[in-house]
C-alpha cells in the first residue's frame, strides 16, 4: 500500500474555503458545484482526491520514513522566534462549504460542534483553475477582505503545468509561459497587507516524474514565481513544497527545493509540509527543521505545517482516502511557540471528503463530525 503524497487530487470541485468560482471551471465528472453566497464574487476551484482507491500523486511506501531526529540547535536557534512574526490573526473567508452546510442545517444536532470546531476557524483559499482574465480580481477579493479585518489570508496557487504528473489532478496552465503570465496576474491581486502563499503543493516533492529538462524548467518557473509574488507585495510570505515526513528524505527534498529557489530570500520565506495529509505535527516539525538545515538558506527561513486532520497521525496501513480514526489537528495559528515553525495552517479544511466517506471534494458532515467529536 502506498502512502498518499499530499492527496492533492482530481481538480474540479471546491475544497474548503471557497464555494464561489470562476465561470466554466468544472471538469467533466467533477463533483457538484457549490452555489455561491449572493454577496460573494467568484473564487477559484480547488483540488479533490481521486476516487479510484489510489492517490493521484506519487509517494513512497509506508515504511520509507526518513529519520525525524531534531537537527543541531545551532541553526534552529538562529531562526526568528515565532512571536516576532505572529502579528494579526489568520483570515477566515466567509464563504465556504462548511459554512454553507451550517447555515442550511441549523437544527442538525451536529451543527453546533461542526460550526465551532471547523466553520469558525480559518482555512486556505485555493486558486486551481487557469483563468488569466479573472485571477487578479479573485485574489484581490480575498486579500481586500482580509485587509479590512486586519487579518492574514492563506492563498494556494495551484496551476503549474503538468500538475500531478497527469494524474487525477491534472490540469493547470497549458505551458510555463502561460503560467508565468498567470503568476504575474495573481501577484497583481495581492495588495500590500501581510499574506501567506502556499506555492504549488506537490510541485517539488513530486517532480521526479518529469524529465530532467522539464523538471529544471519547472524549478526556474517556481523560483520566478516567488520573486514575482514578493516583489509585488513585500509583506507576502511565500513557502515552497517540502512534501511531508513520510515522503522524500530531508536531504533529497532540500536539494530539490534549492533548485526551485526556496533558499533565496528574494523568492522564499521557507517551506510547507503535510498538505492534505495526516502526519503528526511533531514529526513534521522535526522533518521540516531537517529540510531547512539541509537547505542552507538564510537563518530566518521557516516552515508552515498543514494540521487540518493530523490529530491522530497517519494511519499505519498507509490508507489515504478518508481513513477512519483521524482527528483534526492543532488550530490554525501564527503563534506556534516553536522556533522556525511560522504557522500551523488548515490548508485542506477538515470535513472535505477524499471520495470514500462522501463525494470527492464535498463537505461531508458525518466525516466532519467524526473528526471533531
Q: Mind listing the pLDDT tens digit for each residue in 303-337?
A: 999 999 999 999 999 888 899 999 999 999 999 99
**What pLDDT score was predicted for residue 361?**
75
**pTM (two decimals):** 0.81
pLDDT at 110: 97
The residues near 333 (Cβ < 8 Å, ≥ 6 apart) are 90, 343, 344
Task: Extract the C-alpha cell encoding 33.
Answer: 458545484
C-alpha cell of 205? 516533492
pLDDT at 170: 79
Residue indicated by cell numbers 479585518 = 149
Predicted pLDDT at 251: 98
List of the chain residues with pLDDT < 70: 1-87, 168
Q: To which H or E segment does residue 136 belong?
A: helix 135-148
Task: Please say whether the beta carbons of 162 and 211 come within 8 A.
Answer: no
Active site residue ranges: 164, 202, 354
Which pLDDT belongs to residue 42? 34
Instruction: Give tens-digit pLDDT for 255-311.
Output: 999 999 999 999 999 999 999 999 999 999 999 999 999 999 899 999 999 999 999
Distance CA 167, CA 183 (A): 23
Which pLDDT score, from 0 to 100, does residue 8 have?
Answer: 53
Helix 176-188 with 212-232: angle, nearest 10 deg: 20
Share of the chain above pLDDT 90, in %: 67
pLDDT at 168: 66
Tell me what pLDDT residue 310 has: 97
Amino acid at each position: 500500500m502506498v502512502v498518499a503524497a499530499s492527496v492533492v487530487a482530481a481538480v474540479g470541485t471546491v475544497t474548503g474555503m471557497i464555494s464561489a468560482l470562476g465561470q466554466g471551471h468544472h471538469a467533466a465528472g467533477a463533483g457538484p458545484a457549490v452555489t455561491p453566497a449572493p454577496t460573494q464574487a467568484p473564487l477559484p476551484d480547488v483540488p479533490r482526491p481521486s476516487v479510484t482507491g489510489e492517490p493521484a500523486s506519487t509517494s513512497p511506501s509506508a515504511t520509507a520514513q526518513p529519520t525525524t531526529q531534531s537537527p543541531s540547535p545551532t541553526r534552529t536557534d538562529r531562526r526568528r522566534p515565532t512571536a516576532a512574526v505572529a502579528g494579526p490573526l489568520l483570515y477566515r473567508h466567509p464563504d465556504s462549504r462548511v459554512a454553507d452546510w451550517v447555515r442550511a442545517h441549523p437544527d442538525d444536532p451536529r451543527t453546533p460542534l461542526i460550526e465551532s470546531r471547523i466553520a469558525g476557524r480559518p482555512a486556505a483559499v485555493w486558486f486551481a483553475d487557469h483563468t488569466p482574465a479573472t485571477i487578479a480580481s479573485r485574489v484581490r477579493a480575498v486579500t481586500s477582505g482580509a485587509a479590512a479585518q486586519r487579518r492574514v489570508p492563506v492563498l494556494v496557487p495551484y496551476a503549474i503545468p503538468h500538475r500531478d504528473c497527469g494524474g487525477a489532478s491534472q490540469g493547470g496552465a497549458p505551458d510555463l509561459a502561460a503560467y508565468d503570465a498567470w503568476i504575474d496576474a495573481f501577484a497583481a491581486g495581492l495588495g500590500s497587507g501581510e499574506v501567506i502563499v502556499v506555492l504549488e503543493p506537490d510541485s517539488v516533492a513530486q517532480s521526479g516524474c518529469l524529465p530532467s529538462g522539464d523538471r529544471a524548467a519547472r524549478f526556474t518557473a517556481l523560483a520566478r514565481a516567488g520573486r514575482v509574488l514578493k516583489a509585488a507585495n513585500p509583506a507576502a510570505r511565500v513557502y515552497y513544497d517540502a512534501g511531508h515526513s513520510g515522503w522524500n528524505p530531508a536531504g533529497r527534498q532540500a536539494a530539490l527545493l534549492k533548485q526551485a529557489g526556496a533558499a533565496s530570500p528574494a523568492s522564499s520565506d521557507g517551506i510547507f509540509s503535510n498538505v492534505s495529509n495526516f502526519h503528526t505535527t511533531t514529526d513534521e516539525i522535526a522533518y521540516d527543521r531537517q529540510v531547512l538545515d539541509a537547505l542552507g538558506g538564510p537563518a530566518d527561513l521557516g516552515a508552515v505545517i498543514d494540521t487540518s486532520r493530523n490529530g491522530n497521525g497517519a494511519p499505519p496501513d498507509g490508507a489515504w482516502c478518508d481513513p477512519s480514526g483521524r482527528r483534526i489537528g492543532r488550530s490554525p495559528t501564527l503563534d506556534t511557540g516553536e522556533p522556525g515553525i511560522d504557522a500551523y495552517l488548515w490548508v485542506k479544511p477538515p470535513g472535505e471528503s477524499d471520495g470514500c466517506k462522501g463525494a470527492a471534494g464535498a463537505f461531508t458532515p458525518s466525516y466532519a463530525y467524526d473528526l471533531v467529536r
